[in-house]
């Protein structure tokens, strides 16, 4: 039997999972899980690089696991696990930090963007975070990493570190490829369509969360910023409209051209109403399943326990090899 290639991805349990995370990442995880040996993480150790309230973080980690499953991640096919339950992530991150140059971390645009937002809390975890992400990926010898556009640079660093380690200490890590979807890899904010939609955005009118009530979705889409030009047409110089067309296309599984031709002469109000309906249709089954799952938290916890056990066995194999190769005495 030939071994399936490995796919791995993760999301930080910060803020509220939003349609950008779904369209840019989770939706693709679901479609890959049949053909890949899949691991999907809730990367809680990453999330403490920004300020989190402990009680909320705890609750959110469980809620995100339920949302992964509600979106279609099947725990019988894929490993779903909490990053901090597998101690090897931190161990490998430390080893990788010894071959990472400061210049490489200085170039990371996510660090620069997040530092601007964080004010006085520019901590060193925020800075070294790409090393932990590289460890997440290399620990499981992942072949493919489905993420949004914003993670491309971190994936490049991961590959550079893998090559460097392999050259220095002999072949150890698989070189991972990013998978970034052609449409939906950069969903934009509803109120500020020049910025990306982000689940930790404090202004909830900028995002649609996976758990938003249908009436809230209608309101948020109604208020979404567009422009004063007429005609519903995809045009990069009209970023608000271009984003809404992308959302329509991805939520309804229709091409942008088809939607343009259907609404070319329509008013924004009609287009927006149908878009909100289309998003609500996409979210309805997810929300229904989520409610059921959250009524049985012990089930979610058992999935996470099982996920951590399965992941730990694999993580141990890699770290054991890495420690031997760099010259640490066997424990």
Which residue from 6, 8, 25, 311 is in contact with ligand ATP, where contact means CB under 6 A?
Answer: 25
Structure tokens at 86: 């597998």
Q: Between 297-326 and 124-139, two packed helices, what is the crossing angle to 10 degrees?
A: 90
Kindly state whether residue 148 participates in binding ligand ATP, applying the rule CB under 6 A.
Answer: yes
- As a whole number of angstroms, the distance between CA 202 and CA 155 comes to 27
Phi/psi at 11 (5° precision): -135, 140
Q: Which stretch binds ligand ATP (CB under 6 A): 6-14, 56-64, 93-101, 161-169?
A: 6-14
Kindly state whether residue 206 participates in binding ligand LTN, applying the rule CB under 6 A.
Answer: no
- CB-wise, 2 or 202, nearer to ligand LTN? 202
- The helix, strand and coil proportions of the chain, stated in percent and rounded to the nearest 5, come to 60, 10, 35
- As a whole number of angstroms, the distance between CA 285 and CA 205 comes to 23
Kindly state whether residue 12 participates in binding ligand LTN, applying the rule CB under 6 A.
Answer: yes
136 touches, from ligand ATP, ligand LTN, none (C-beta below 5 to 8 Å by class): ligand LTN
Kindly state whether residue 272 participates in binding ligand ATP, applying the rule CB under 6 A.
Answer: no
- As a whole number of angstroms, the distance between CA 198 and CA 212 comes to 15
Structure tokens at 136: 């997440």
Active-site residue, selected from the candidate residues 4, 53, 199, 297: 199
Kindly state whether residue 233 participates in binding ligand ATP, applying the rule CB under 6 A.
Answer: no
Kindly state whether residue 157 participates in binding ligand LTN, applying the rule CB under 6 A.
Answer: no
8 touches, from ligand ATP, ligand LTN, none (C-beta below 5 to 8 Å by class): ligand LTN
Based on the residue annotation, tell me whether 199 is a catalytic residue of this protein: yes
Check if the beta carbon of residue 115 is closer than 8 Å to that of residue 126. Answer: yes
Active-site residue, selected from the candidate residues 27, 196, 220, 272: 196
CB of 203 to ligand ATP, least distance (A): 12
- As a whole number of angstroms, the distance between CA 180 and CA 299 comes to 32
Virtual torsion, Cα 18, 24, 29, 30, nearest 10 deg: 70
- CB-wise, 180 or 224, nearer to ligand LTN? 180
Check if the beta carbon of residue 64 is closer than 8 Å to that of residue 80. Answer: no
Based on the residue annotation, tell me whether 196 is a catalytic residue of this protein: yes
- As a whole number of angstroms, the distance between CA 241 and CA 94 comes to 44
Strand partners, 81: 41
Check if the beta carbon of residue 25 is closer than 8 Å to that of residue 9. Answer: yes
CB of 295 to ligand ATP, least distance (A): 26
193 touches, from ligand LTN, ligand ATP, none (C-beta below 5 to 8 Å by class): none
DSSP result, 151-171: GHHHHHHHHHHHHHHHHHH-S
Closest residue to ligand ATP in the complex (CB)? 24
Kindly state whether residue 145 participates in binding ligand LTN, applying the rule CB under 6 A.
Answer: yes
Check if the beta carbon of residue 243 is closer than 8 Å to that of residue 193. Answer: yes
- CB-wise, 100 or 151, nearer to ligand ATP? 151
Kindly state whether residue 154 participates in binding ligand ATP, applying the rule CB under 6 A.
Answer: no
CB of 25 to ligand ATP, least distance (A): 4
**Residues acting as catalytic residues:** 114, 196, 199
- Given the rule CB under 6 A, which residues bind ligand ATP? 11-12, 14-15, 20-21, 24-25, 147-148, 150-151, 185-187, 196-200
- Given the rule CB under 6 A, which residues bind ligand LTN? 8-10, 12, 43, 46, 133, 136-137, 145, 147, 151, 154
């Amino acid at each position: 039997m030939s071994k399936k290639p490995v796919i791995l991805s993760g999301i930080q349990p910060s803020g509220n999972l939003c349609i950008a995370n779904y369209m840019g990442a989770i939706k693709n995880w679901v479609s890959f899980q049949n053909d890949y040996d899949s691991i999907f993480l809730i990367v809680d150790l990453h999330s403490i690089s920004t300020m989190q309230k402990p009680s909320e973080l705890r609750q959110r980690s469980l809620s995100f696991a339920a949302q992964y499953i509600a979106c279609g991640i099947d725990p019988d096919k894929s490993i779903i696990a909490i990053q901090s339950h597998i101690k090897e992530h931190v161990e490998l991150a430390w080893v990788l930090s010894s071959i990472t140059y400061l210049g490489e971390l200085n170039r990371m645009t996510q660090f620069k963007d997040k530092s601007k937002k964080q004010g006085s809390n520019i901590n060193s975890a925020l800075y070294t975070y790409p090393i932990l992400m590289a460890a997440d990926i290399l620990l499981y010898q992942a072949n493919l990493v489905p993420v949004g556009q914003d993670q491309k640079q971190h994936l490049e660093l991961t590959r550079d570190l893998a090559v460097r380690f392999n050259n220095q200490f002999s072949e150890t890590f698989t070189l991972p490829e990013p998978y970034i979807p052609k449409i939906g890899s950069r969903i934009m904010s509803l109120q500020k369509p020049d910025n990306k939609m982000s689940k930790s955005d404090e202004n909830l009118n900028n995002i649609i969360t996976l758990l938003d009530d249908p009436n809230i979705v209608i309101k948020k889409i109604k208020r979404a910023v567009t422009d004063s030009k007429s005609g519903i047409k995809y045009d990069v110089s009209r970023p608000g409209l271009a984003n809404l067309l992308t959302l329509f296309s991805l939520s309804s599984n229709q091409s942008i051209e088809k939607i343009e031709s259907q609404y070319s002469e329509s008013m924004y109000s009609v287009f927006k109403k149908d878009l909100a309906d289309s998003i609500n249709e996409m979210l309805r089954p997810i929300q229904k399943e989520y409610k059921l799952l959250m009524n049985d938290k012990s089930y979610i916890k058992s999935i996470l326990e099982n996920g951590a056990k399965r992941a730990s066995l694999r993580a141990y194999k890699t770290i054991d090899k890495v420690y031997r190769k760099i010259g640490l005495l066997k424990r």
